[in-house]
Homo-oligomer: A and B are copies of this chain.
Amino acid sequence: MPIFTAEDLKTVGFEIFKAAGAPSDEARLVSEMLVNANLDGHDSHGVIRVLQYVKSIREGKIKPGVKVEVLRETPTTAVLNGNWGFGQVVATMAMRKAVEKAKTNAVSVVCATNCNHVGRLYDYTLLASKNGMIGISFANSISMVAPYGGMERRIGTCPMSFAFPTDEEIPFVIDIATSICAEGKIRVKSHEGKNLPYNCIVDKDGRLTKNPKALYEGGAILPMGGEVGYKGFNLGLVVEILGGILSGTGYSYSKKFRGGNGVFMEAINVEMFMDLEEFRHEVGELARAVRSSKPRLGFKKILTPGEIEFKTRERRLREGIPVPEKTWVEIVKIARELNLDIEGLVKSK
């Protein structure tokens, strides 16, 4: 498997998006966010998406360079119309706006609609926390998950993310789907022909199963909590309403919903509540207190949110990012179609 530095992969994404018609600033932002996902170990949201995004640009689904419109605005809120630009561009603008508003007005919520795939919510809440804010983000997407006790798809995997300023080097960022697992993990197991570790799916006959193929044969993903998943289901509804309905996107099962992500971004200015350094210290202390618990049988240690990503990032910054051969071949091919000699530009380590 070829291995590249993060900088080289950023160049690859930047050049390809630019050649596909994106303005430089958008090409740079999207490419950076994809490579950041690789650095954190979330390869499903990494450079593999270059292929999908170029395809979407060609099909007119992603419209690089369009202007994001402000549909409504108050000193503490806004609703943005992304006009189907890059999801990352729209969502970054939404969180930046929330942070700016919260600087003077303490709390702010900015929603966005007509927005393509925004990638990981992690990036946006982290952006807020780097500005001394608490970042909160929700996004709805296509219907994949059954209600608790149900067998038909009615809500999305409905991710939520929360980030907090901390005194540790490890960023304190939570980014979870409210379904029992992400669809990507089920797809991987299905390709491998392996079973899931526990019941993640209700099949088309209403039976719980570990068989990943059941999802693609008319099944649905279970909410977080699985067989006792009413809490995960309830939290999924929160995301459908805040990310979907409030943004004007509609909940995922509605006729109004047109794909992509409906987005909710909130920033809370810590200094309006308490001293920021004290807050950062207490959040760090909480992480340290939690890690001090003895592990239960079968576990070696306690991990806090963001810790695995931080360690993977340190390693990949040092050792490089492995890209599966098949993905790399497709990237080179798509670059060639855009008259780019990617292999002349960057070298595998």
Contact = CB atoms under 8 A, between A and B. Distances in A.
A266 B109 CA distance: 12
A228 B228 CA distance: 12
Contacts of A106: 74-77, 109
Contacts of A305: 234, 237
Contact of A254 (B224, B238, B286): B286
Contact of A238 (B109, B149, B162, B279): B162
A301 interface: yes
A39 interface: no
A146 B289 contact: no
A294 to B, nearest CB: 5
A216 interface: no
A128 interface: no
Nearest to A228: B198
Given A225-B225, A238-B174, A282-B254, A154 B290 contact: yes
Interface in A34-78: 72, 74-77
Interface of A: 72, 74-77, 79, 105-109, 111, 134, 146-152, 154-155, 162, 164, 174, 176, 178, 180, 198, 202, 205-208, 224-226, 228, 230-232, 234-235, 237-238, 240-242, 245-248, 250-251, 253-254, 256, 266, 268, 270, 272-274, 279, 282-283, 285-286, 289-297, 299, 301-305
